[in-house]
Amino acid sequence: MTPASRSAAKANTTPSPSWAYSESFVADDDTMLLARAASRQLALGSASQGVTSALTFLASLLQAKAVVEVGTGAGVSGLALIRGMARDGILTSIDLETEHQVAARQIFVAEGVPARRVRLIAGSALNVMPKLSDGAYDMVVVDGDPLEFVEYVAQSQRLLRSGGLLVLHHALWKGLVADEANEDDETLIIREALQAVQDMEEFTSTLLPVGDGVLVAVKA
C-alpha cells in the first residue's frame, strides 16, 4: 500500500453523517443506558447502538428460543438479544469474569427478565462450548477473545441448527481488518476467521459495517 493509499484509507475511517445517523437510528432506553454505564464502570467496551439494534432485529427475525453468547460483558448485548428472542427463549452467556456476569444479572433483573431465561456460565468459552449440544441453537453471538475467533467459528458450526445464525462482532476490528498492511495478531486471526466462514459451504454470509463490524452467516 502506497503512502497515498494509506492516507485515503485513513480518511475513509472517519464516520460519515449517514453512518452516525444509522448508528443512532434506534435509541437506547433507560435500561440499555444503565447497561452501558455498568460497562464503563468495569472498563469494558460495549456493542454500539447500531450493533445492539441489529442483534435485537436478528433474534426477533428468528424468534430465537436458544442463543449462545460468547462474552457476557455487563449485559449490553445480552439485553439486546433477550429483547428480540421468543418469550420463552433462553440465553446462554459465557464469560471468564464472574464480576461481569454479576453486573449483567443486575441489568437483566432491571429489565424484568425471569432468571430462568438467562444461563450465565463463568469460564473459558473454549472449555464451555464443546459441552453444549450439537445443532441445538438458533444463534451464536461471538464477542469474546479475538485470538480465539477461529475456534469459536468451528464450535458455532457444530452448535447451530439448520437456518441458525452465526454473528461475529468486531469483524472489522477497529478498522484494521481492511488495512492489508496491518499484521497485528488480532487482525490476522479475525481475517482468518472471516475467511473460514466464507470457506464453509454450509454458511452464507454478509459483512455489515455497523459498529466495529458484524459478520452474519446463516447455516444451510
* CA–CA–CA angle 112, 61, 206 (5° rounding): 120
Residue 169 catalytic? yes
Task: Look up residue 85 and give its three cell numbers.
Answer: 428472542
Which residue type is seen at 77? S
For 42, other C-beta atoms within 10 Å of its C-beta total 15
Comparing CA positions, the residue from 86, 67, 87 lying closest to residue 77 is: 67
Given 105, 169, 170, 219, the catalytic residue: 169
Coil, helix or strand at residue 63: coil
Task: Look up residue 84 and give its three cell numbers.
Answer: 428480540
Any idea which residues carry the catalytic annotation? Answer: 169
